[in-house]
Structure 1
Amino acid sequence: MIFIEHILERPNKKPILIDLRHNESETQPIVIFCHGYKGYKDWGAWNLMADAIANAGFCVIKFNFSHNGGTMENPIDFPDLEAFGNNNYTKELEDLHGVVDWVQNEFKHDNHIDVSQISTIGHSRGGGIVLLHASEDSRIKRVITLASVCNFGKRSSTIGDLERWQKDGVKYVRNGRTNQDMPHYFQFYEDFKANEERLHIESAVKRLTIPTLIIHGNKDTSISMDEALNLYEWKPDSKLVIIENADHVFNTKQPWESDDLSPELKTVCEEITHFLKQSEV
C-alpha cells in the first residue's frame, strides 16, 4: 500500500495535516474522511478503518481540521487550545473544500486515482459537515455519515448560559481524556448565527441528489439514534444502517492497541465499501 503524508499550506490560513493511502494496482475512487468534535484523523481505530477501505479498492484520505487544536508537531492531542477556541463550522467547511481542491489538483495526472469520483465520510459533527458540504459541492458523488448529528443549532448554544457566554467571551468544556478545559470563544455562536441558513442540515439533506449512507449505533449515548432517523426521514432514498450494540465510536477507543477492528467497526467498513461499490457511477 502507498502511504503519503502532506501538510497543506494555505496563504493567511492555518495549515491542514493530511494522510493518503491507496493501492497501485488499479484506478481508485477517492474517499475523504472527516473527524468529529474533539477528534483528529488518527484517533483510535480510524487508521485501521482507512486501511480496510483502501484495501477494498479506494484511495482514502484523512485530515485534521485546521482548528481542531492539534499542531503539525503534535496532531494527537490538543496543544493549541487557542485554535480550538476559534474553530467554527464555516472554517471546517472551508477546510474540507480546500482538501477537495488539493486532491483534484495534486492527482489529476495520476492514473491510479480517479479525481472525478470523490465520496466523503464524516463522523459525529463531521457527519454534519460532510452533509452540508455535499449539498454545496457538485464534485462530491456519494456521502456517508457515521453517528452523525442532524442539527447544529441546538449545539451552538446551551439554554440559559448564552448571556454569560457573551459577557465572558468564552466558555469551557472539559476533555475527560486529556483533562483539559477546552475553550469555546463566543465567535462560535456569532459565526453560526451569521451563517444559520447555510448551516441548516435538514435543508441541506433535502437538497441532496447523490447516494447517501447513514450509519449509527443503537447504543450511542453521545448522539441519539433519533438523529439518524431524522436524516433518513429527510432523505428517504438514502440507506440507513443501524449497527447493533455499537456505541458512538463503534466500540473502539483512544488509544486503540489492537491490530484488528472491533466487530462493530468492521461491520461499518463492510457497509461502507459495499455502498461505495454498489453506487459507483
Structure 2
Amino acid sequence: MKKDFAFTTSRQNLIRGTVFYNSNPENLPAVFIIHGFKGFKDWGYVPFFAQELADNGFFVVTFNFSHNGIGENPFEFTELEKFANNTISLEVSELDELIDFYNNGGFGFEGRNNLIGLIGHSRGGAIALITTNEAYQNNEIRNIKALCLWGTISTFERYSKHQVETWKKLGYLEVINSRTNQVMKLNKILLEDYEANKERFNLLKCISQIKVPVLIVHGDQDLTVPINEAYQLYEASNKDLTEFVIISSAGHTFNIVHPYAGSNPQFEQVKARTIDFLLKHLTKN
C-alpha cells in the first residue's frame, strides 16, 4: 500500500511525500529515504525500492525537501527560486521535523517507540548524518538506530576558490542539471549557511561521534563523489559499528537511470546489503 501525504513545517514550508507499508504501520520499524542534491522522491529506483522495503516489513517514508525544486509536478524542477534558496540547515531542520511528525502520530497512528532507520544518498546521506549526530548529542529521543550512507559526501567543500569568489561577487552560482539541461542557480545563502556552521556540518566529526550502526555503500566508479570520500567516512567512524561495502563497477547512482529502466547486478547488491543491515538493527527479536 502507498499513500501520499503533505506536511507543513514550522517555517510554513510544504513537504510532499509518500509512505509505503504492507501491514499495520504502528507495529513496523520506520525507514526514511533522503534524496540528495538535484534528487527527489520519485527519482529512478526510489519508489520501487521503497515498496521492496515495505515488502520486508518496514514503514517507509519518501519525501521531497521543500526547497529541492520539485513542486506539484513530481518529476519536473519547476520551483527554481526555492531551489536557489535551499540550505543545509533547512534540510536538517526539515528531516528533524518530519521524524518528529512520525513519532507524534502525524501519519494517523500512534507509534510504539518504533525503531527508525535513515537511508541517505549523496548529500542526503550528509543530512541524515548531521541529524542523527545532533539527536544524540542533544539527548533527543528520535529512535534512530541505523544509518545507511549511499554514495555519501565526506565534506560540503565542493567548490573551487574561483567558484567561491564568483559566488560571493555575483550573489549566486549556476549549476547545470545534466539530465534536464536546466541552468539552476544556487544563491549565496547556501554558502553563507555553510560558512556559519562549518563545525556543525563537519561530516567526519559527525560520524566519529555517533554511536549508531552505520552502513557505507559506495560505487568504485563514482565520478560525482569519489570513493576516497567513502574511505574518509569509514576511517573517521566507529569501526565496531560500521560496515563498509564497495560496489564494483558502479557509479554514483549504482548504474540506475531516470526514468527507471529496471535494476542491475550492482544495485541488487546495494539493496540486499541494505535490507539485511536494516533487518538486523531495526527488527526486535
Contact 1:150 1:201 in 2 (8 A): yes
What residue is the counterpart of 2:123 in the other structure? 125
Aligned residue for 2:92, secondary structure, equals helix
Q: Which amino acid aligns with 1:44?
A: G
Query: Structure 1 residues 91, 109: CA separation in 2 closer, same or farther (over 3 Å shift)?
Result: closer
Give the alignment's Cα RMSD to 1 decimal: 1.7
Q: Which amino acid aligns with 2:67?
A: H
Q: Sequence identity, in percent? A: 34
Tell me the distance in 1 between the aligned counterparts of 2:34 and 2:131: 11
What residue is the counterpart of 1:254 in the other structure? 258
Contact 2:151 2:217 in 1 (8 A): yes
What residue is the counterpart of 2:96 in the other structure? 97
Contact 1:143 1:211 in 2 (8 A): yes
What residue is the counterpart of 1:267 in the other structure? 269
Could you list the runs of 5+ residues in structure 2 that have no partner in the other structure? 137-141
Aligned residue for 2:13, secondary structure, equals strand
Tell me the distance in 2 between the aligned counterparts of 1:182 and 1:110: 39
Any runs of at least 4 consecutive aligned residues in structure 1 with deviations exceeding 2 A, and if so which? Answer: 10-13, 106-111, 113-116, 161-164
Tell me the distance in 2 between the aligned counterparts of 1:67 and 1:110: 28
Question: CA-to-partner distance for each residue in 1:110-141, whole Å, 9 max, x for gaps?
Answer: 47x65430110100011111111110124111
What residue is the counterpart of 2:19 in the other structure? 20
Cα offset for 1:107?
A: 5.8
Query: Hey, which of these two has a bigger chunk of strand by percent?
Result: 1
Q: Structure 2 length normalisation: TM-score?
A: 0.91
Contact 2:148 2:215 in 1 (8 A): yes
Cα offset for 1:12?
A: 3.8
What residue is the counterpart of 1:75 in the other structure? 74
Tell me the distance in 1 between the aligned counterparts of 2:128 and 2:30: 14
Contact 2:15 2:63 in 1 (8 A): yes
Q: Structure 1 length normalisation: TM-score?
A: 0.92
Aligned residue for 2:166, secondary structure, equals helix
Tell me the distance in 2 between the aligned counterparts of 1:66 and 1:86: 10
Tell me the distance in 1 between the aligned counterparts of 2:230 and 2:80: 31
Aligned ranges 1:1-281 → 2 under 5 Å: 2-24=1-23, 27-71=27-71, 73-106=72-105, 110=109, 114-138=112-136, 139=142, 140-152=144-156, 154-155=157-158, 157-235=159-237, 236-237=239-240, 238-258=242-262, 261-280=263-282
Cα offset for 1:162?
A: 2.2
Tell me the distance in 1 between the aligned counterparts of 2:233 and 2:204: 7
Aligned residue for 2:145, secondary structure, equals strand
Contact 2:163 2:173 in 1 (8 A): no
Aligned residue for 2:94, secondary structure, equals helix
**Bigger mean CA offset, 60-69 vs 114-123:** 114-123
Cα offset for 1:13?
A: 2.5
Q: Which amino acid aligns with 1:7?
A: A
| Count of residue correspondences | 274
Aligned residue for 1:221, secondary structure, equals coil
Q: Which amino acid aligns with 1:22?
A: Y
